[in-house]
A and B are shown apart, each in its own frame.
Chain A
Amino acid sequence: MVANVFTKTLRDQRRSLIGWSIGITTLVLVEGALWPSIRDMPNLDEFLSSYPDAFKKAFNVGAMTTGTGFLNAELYTLVLPILFLVFGISRGARLVAGEEESGTLEVVLVTPVSTTRLLLGKAAGLLLGLCVLGGVTGLSTWLASASFSMGIEPWSIAVGSVSMVLLGLEYGFLALAVGAVTGRRSIAIAVPSVAAVGAYVLYVAGLMVDSVSGWLPWSPFHQALAEGPLASGLPSRFSLLVLGALVVIAVAAPVFARRDIRVG
């Protein structure tokens, strides 16, 4: 079962993945169950237009008359991104910094396994963990759509799930990378959390303030959410999220290889 760093990372996530999967499935199904009553509201358009402008822009409230628009606004633009961020950052910070602080890293590093291979094995394990959560999110969305006749295209569901995975990946890898550079779990949690809040503020401000809108493409939230994220096409912006995640690991690896390992 624990043949290498990658499978060890997966094994360490298994309980947490089960819990998160149950939570996300429940959330998506409960949200979906609300859809029929929202759809059948006689004055839905009127109700939606009474929302403040900022709200309408941030959550694309105008599209809430369709099942796709409803889930985008209710789940996929804030609640699910937060859940994927929390999972990615908390797991990512644990992988190197957490192990280093607890002292278990010491013996694992004095093997033929290099710091870079260890980092890559852990990154791959986190990626697969996020993919499992993404798969669960997609499946439960498909189930909700079918059960409550939301009419969401399977392709849109796939794109929406990928966008959640990539958002979790970007900040999860940042947490892993900061942990590998500093060896401190608190910093590995703080840096990506602050970065995510900053990026979200930039995203919302960019939607509302014209002078900021030029900066929008820099926000990972824009990269992940701009098209829906339940959307009919796979946005090319997703490649920026992948690139960002790879860059932080690539920057961290040589620093990790050269720094002192802290005593647990």
Chain B
Amino acid sequence: MDVAIETHGLTKRFGRRRALDGIDLTIPPGQVFGYLGPNGAGKTTTIRLLAGLLRPTAGTATVLGLDVVRERDRMQARLGYLPGSFVGYADLNGEQYLRYLANLRGGVDWNVVTSMAKRLDLDLGRRLGVLSHGNRQKVGIVQALMHRPELVILDEPTTGLDPIIQQEFLGLVRDVRDAGGTVFLSSHIMSEVEAVADHVGIIRDGSLVLVDSVEMLKRRALRRMDLTFAGEPPQSLSAIAGVRELTVSGSTAHLAVEGSTAELLAAAAPHRIEQIVTHEPDLEEIFLSYYDGRG
């Protein structure tokens, strides 16, 4: 199998409203793909099309080489899925609920379930109806991963999870990838995706506006730097290509550089730099620029 997910002109209309407009996406196996976009951009529609819960108005989608319409049930057997608003049976406890779904899937290795529950600090003996939102979400995560699927599709998986459990969850996602699986996860928070994804796609108003590796995005991102000079910072800094948002306080210049820092450093070096502080590139800004249509 060369691709985990492949769509061609994937389009979905609800009545007159066009929720998704000709998405072309190819995701190779063995990676974590972050699907980003503001609320209402079409993330959930894409995910529910890929999970076989919606039928495309136009275009095609194959998941693990299987057509999501014609080979839906075989595809769903190999898929793990966490809906955006996961709801289980309130009258069953975690174990009863997961055993039911496991039976529908033809059985799972129960050790996987118990170890995942332990990692997420989830009590399987309690009824779903009395669990907090975060604990219910953990049940949803376990059911999506317990059969060790080749592809996991997660719609806003970390909503309601506290930061420690979020870290455990990201660990589970990395485990899937390390075992050769593929993870497709949606989010509207860049930092969450940045922490775990290899590639990201950004969707806005039903169209894919960007697909790139996190590595490439970081290279293109604004990199914030503080340059401290022995004397006054030179005036010429603001004229250098890629330099933005230059402010000077005392002998320190605070600025942001887009792309390579080589030209800046070459220009600044003769002025006797005492200290350089560089900050992690801020993908949020790229993301936001695509959000509001500047990108």
Which residues in A have some Cβ–Cβ distance to B below 8 Å? 1-5, 8, 102-104, 106-114, 258-261, 263-264
Contacts and interface: CB of A to CB of B under 8 A. Distances in A.
A252 to B, nearest CB: 17
A109 B83 CA distance: 11
A2 B52 contact: no
11 contacts: A3-B100, A3-B103, A8-B100, A103-B83, A107-B101, A107-B140, A110-B53, A110-B76, A110-B81, A113-B73, A113-B104
A4 B143 contact: no
B18 interface: no
B89 interface: yes
Looking at A1, A103, A106, A258, which has the most chain B CB atoms within 10 Å of its CB? A106
A252 B118 CA distance: 42
B221 interface: no
B25 interface: no
B85 interface: yes
A260 B85 contact: no
Nearest to A259: B55
Given A103-B87, A104-B89, A260-B55, A109 B76 contact: yes
Given A103-B85, A111-B76, A111-B101, A2 B96 contact: yes
Given A2-B103, A3-B103, A4-B103, A112 B76 contact: yes
Given A2-B96, A112-B105, A260-B54, A107 B81 contact: yes
B79 interface: yes
Interface of B: 44, 48, 51-55, 72-74, 76-77, 79, 81, 83-89, 92, 96, 99-101, 103-106, 140, 143
A112 B101 CA distance: 10
B92 A2 contact: yes
Contacts of B72: 114
A47 to B, nearest CB: 51
A102 B100 contact: no
Nearest to B14: A260
A104 B97 CA distance: 11
